[in-house]
């Protein structure tokens, strides 16, 4: 439960955080990284990277860290079936329900395990994100953060993928569009992995602009057939409204900022959304076990600043943030704190970076961004000539 010390209080500039401790009940597996395999010759098996500890630290740093006075806490809730069916097929939802009923631990897709308590956590993650979006739609706040797990952006309408069961952000986007209060939504995904599930769900829509900045990892099998390459642009009326920014491995603060300013900001400006959704993980950090990028706290802070400015320019300041990956148990929390400092326009860092400066040569990333920009200018209809 949320203590009385952290209940909603008026703020001139604050972030409304939606959270429910029931999401901690999802217990993936132990083994070799995310495989669940015990080879028999290791004395110490590691927790699955998407474990509850990472999110416990995110909660605690927002409750007891320097940013705590800027945080309002609001309760999450489970999603209901009709809400899930706005994005997912009934066949897929039935598959998850049956897996939960079995009471057994099952591998739903590679590295994605459902255990007793997982389905309840997934429903809470989806419903909590929907509550955060509804909070914004009802004008109760402009900046909301759905602090949720399990993550969602790999989950496609018909299948699980990459630790994700339900696509929390996509469900919130559908809610915004179906409410009649938004006609165009921009989704910017900075998780280190391609937001393939969200892209797939809106691949044939011109009402949603999906932009994903990710490491250049390609497809990883039948659950993730999408490559995240620049030529995956959408189809039919959605052609050009899915923009992929595969960044070279090792891209750091300067490279990410350059990519956001050169590719994301102009595209969102041309698109003209009336709602902005930031889908993010801290797995693009320099020390994450599940990524190969080099963002530090400064990079996340700068991205937060840019996204806040984007929301103020296009959506009257309305910004929904949805938690995805981030698997370094301590540094992910620090990077979250830094990003929210940027979103809140706190002028100076309130926490020192515990791992300090990471050297960066942004030249390769800059050339990659220039190449992607040329491609977009040629093949994306609404960006031609930029």
- The single-letter DSSP state of residue 68 is G
CB atoms within 10 A of CB 138: 10
Distance of alpha carbon 157 from its chain centroid, rounded?
Answer: 17
Distance of alpha carbon 355 from its chain centroid, rounded?
Answer: 23
Residue carrying structure tokens 């099998």: 221
- Separation CA 136–CA 138 (nearest Å): 5
- Separation CA 156–CA 376 (nearest Å): 25
Distance of alpha carbon 108 from its chain centroid, rounded?
Answer: 21
- Separation CA 46–CA 62 (nearest Å): 26
Distance of alpha carbon 220 from its chain centroid, rounded?
Answer: 19
- Is 154 annotated in the active site? yes
Instruction: Tell me the H-state helices in 138-262.
Output: 168-178, 196-201, 253-259
Per annotation, catalytic residue among 88, 135, 154, 193: 154
178-210 burial: b if 16+ Cβ within 10 Å, else e: eeeebebbbbbbbbbbbbbbbbbbbbebbbbbb
DSSP string covering 129-145, please? HHHHHHHHHTTS-SEEE
- Separation CA 163–CA 150 (nearest Å): 7
Instruction: Give the CA angle between residues 166, 208, 384 to the nearest 5°.
Output: 140
Positive or negative torsion for Cα 45, 292, 305, 144 = negative
Positive or negative torsion for Cα 48, 53, 56, 57 = negative
Among all residues, which ones are annotated catalytic? 154
């Amino acid at each position: 439960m949320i203590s009385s010390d952290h209940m909603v209080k008026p703020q001139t500039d604050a972030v409304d955080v939606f959270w429910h401790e029931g999401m901690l009940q999802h217990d993936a597996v132990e083994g070799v990284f995310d495989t669940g395999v015990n080879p028999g010759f290791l004395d110490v098996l590691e927790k699955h990277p998407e474990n509850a500890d990472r999110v416990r630290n995110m909660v605690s740093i927002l409750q007891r860290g320097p940013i705590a006075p800027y945080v309002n806490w609001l309760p999450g809730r489970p999603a209901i079936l009709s809400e899930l069916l706005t994005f997912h097929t009934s066949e897929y939802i039935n598959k998850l329900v049956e897996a939960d009923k079995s009471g057994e631990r099952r591998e739903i897709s590679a590295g994605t395990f459902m255990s007793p308590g997982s389905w309840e956590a997934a429903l809470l993650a989806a419903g909590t994100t929907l509550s955060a979006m509804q909070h914004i739609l009802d004008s109760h706040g402009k900046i909301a953060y759905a602090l949720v797990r399990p993550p969602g952006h790999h989950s496609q309408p018909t299948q699980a993928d990459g630790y994700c069961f339900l696509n929390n952000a996509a469900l919130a986007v559908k809610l915004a569009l179906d409410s009649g209060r938004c006609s165009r939504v921009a989704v910017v995904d900075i998780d280190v992995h391609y937001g393939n599930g969200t892209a797939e769900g809106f691949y044939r829509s011109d009402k949603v602009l999906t932009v994903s900045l990710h490491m250049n990892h390609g497809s990883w099998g039948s659950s993730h057939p999408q490559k995240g390459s620049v030529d995956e642009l959408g189809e039919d009326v959605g052609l050009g409204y899915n923009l992929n920014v595969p960044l070279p491995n090792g891209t750091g603060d300067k490279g990410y900022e350059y990519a956001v300013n050169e590719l994301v900001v102009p595209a969102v400006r041309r698109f003209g959304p009336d709602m902005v959704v930031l889908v993010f993980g801290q797995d693009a950090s320099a020390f994450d076990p599940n990524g190969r990028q080099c963002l530090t706290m400064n990079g996340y802070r700068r991205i937060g600043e840019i996204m806040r400015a984007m929301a103020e320019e296009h959506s009257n300041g309305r910004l929904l943030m949805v938690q995805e990956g981030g698997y370094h148990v301590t540094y992910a929390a620090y990077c979250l704190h830094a990003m929210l400092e940027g979103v809140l326009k706190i002028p100076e860092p309130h926490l020192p970076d515990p791992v300090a400066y990471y050297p960066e040569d942004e030249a390769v990333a800059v050339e990659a961004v220039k190449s992607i920009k040329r491609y977009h200018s040629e093949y994306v209809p609404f960006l031609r000539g930029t």
